[in-house]
């Protein structure tokens, strides 16, 4: 009798496994909306002259591509009314400026003209401290004590409120790891950040990027992380419920997703020992 029961259980298991298939649910797709990725990054040690703005549209839930948007006129203007024009690499939705001039503390205004509608945003270029050279490695790190963990440091400016974006990419990560932090509990202190993964091995290169960001962008990015369902992204375009600082001056209700940000960026590479 026991043998018969065992056979029945095994047969049922094989039957259930053979019937398993991926169910693709039909979902309603909203009309595409414009997405403006206007992240101006001034990497320390460079002129910051070469900058890019990308235009695309939202797409269906199951789509892996995001349609490029061509035909826009894009300029950024500083407080002295100096105009920096962004010219499209034809057909790509990527608009390039080769003569941008970033200045810490300077206020810039973005203007995008597309299909007779005008989109604008204003933001300040934010500084960032250096990532210290004394990056530490712990081979028994992580929550379970079984991961390779690195710790890096940066000095907060105690004379002002500061907000930071961390981006870490490693060979074992399919997507970059993002964290948005403030200095509320570490004003003027040497701040630290951790990254760990059990699959890291000697020779792996970890790329660390530290961005200075505004409070508005800090609040926006934290909402993005919450909407994406994790504290580290993967997301190709902002979730539909999160709006940035870009305003449609022609038809307010026809807003665009995305954000206009200007950040000084420090970059460090660390090789796992």
Confidence of residue 77 (pLDDT cuts 50, 70, 90): very high
Give the tokens for residue 57. Answer: 């549209």
DSSP reduced 3-state for 224: helix
What pTM value is reported for the model? 0.84
Q: What pLDDT shows up at residue 30?
A: 63
CA distance 140 to 168: 20
238 Cβ partners below 8 Å, 6+ apart?
A: 35, 224, 227, 244, 257, 258, 259
Mean pLDDT, range 240-268, rounded to an integer = 93
Per residue in 167-220, pLDDT (tens digit) is: 999 999 888 999 999 999 999 999 999 999 999 999 999 999 999 999 999 999
Mean pLDDT, range 121-144, rounded to an integer = 96
Which range among 167-171, 241-245, 255-259 shows the weakest confidence by mean pLDDT? 241-245
Confidence of residue 8 (pLDDT cuts 50, 70, 90): very low
Q: What pLDDT shows up at residue 226?
A: 83
The percentage of residues in the chain with a pLDDT greater than 70, rounded to a whole number, is: 82
How high does pLDDT run on average in the chain? 87
DSSP reduced 3-state for 89: strand
Give the tokens for residue 150. Answer: 């690195």
Per residue in 96-113, pLDDT (tens digit) is: 999 999 999 999 999 999
CA distance 24 to 237: 22
Domain ranges of the chain: 34-128+216-271, 138-209
Nearest to 124 by CA among 163, 158, 66: 163
Q: What pLDDT shows up at residue 167?
A: 97
What pairing do the DSSP bridges indicate for beta strands 257-271 and 34-43? parallel
Mean pLDDT, range 51-76, rounded to an integer = 86
CA distance 257 to 43: 25
Confidence of residue 22 (pLDDT cuts 50, 70, 90): low
pLDDT score of 230 more than 90 = no
């Amino acid at each position: 009798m026991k043998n018969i029961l065992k056979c029945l259980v095994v047969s049922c298991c094989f039957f259930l496994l053979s019937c398993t298939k991926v169910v693709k649910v039909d979902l309603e797709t909203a009309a595409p909306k414009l997405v403006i990725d206007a992240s101006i990054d001034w990497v320390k040690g460079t002129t910051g002259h070469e900058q890019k703005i990308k235009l695309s549209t939202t797409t269906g839930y199951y789509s892996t591509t995001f349609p490029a948007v061509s035909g826009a006129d894009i300029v950024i203007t500083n407080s002295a009314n100096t105009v920096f024009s962004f010219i499209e690499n034809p057909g790509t939705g990527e608009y390039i400026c080769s003569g941008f001039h970033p200045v810490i503390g300077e206020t810039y205004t973005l203007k995008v003209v597309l299909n007779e509608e005008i989109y604008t945003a204003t933001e300040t270029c934010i500084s960032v401290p250096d990532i210290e050279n004394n990056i530490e490695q712990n081979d028994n790190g992580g929550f379970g004590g079984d991961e390779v963990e690195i710790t890096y440091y940066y000095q907060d400016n105690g004379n002002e409120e500061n907000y930071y974006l961390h981006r870490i990419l490693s060979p074992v990560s399919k997507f970059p790891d993002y964290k948005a932090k403030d200095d509320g509990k570490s004003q003027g202190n040497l701040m630290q950040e951790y990254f760990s993964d059990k699959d890291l091995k000697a020779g792996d290169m970890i790329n660390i990027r530290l961005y200075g960001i505004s409070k508005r962008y800090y609040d926006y990015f934290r909402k993005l992380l919450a909407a994406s369902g994790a504290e580290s992204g993967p997301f190709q375009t902002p979730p539909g419920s999160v709006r940035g600082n870009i305003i449609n001056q022609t038809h307010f209700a026809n807003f665009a997703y995305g954000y206009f940000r200007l950040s000084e960026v420090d970059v460090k590479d660390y090789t796992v020992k």
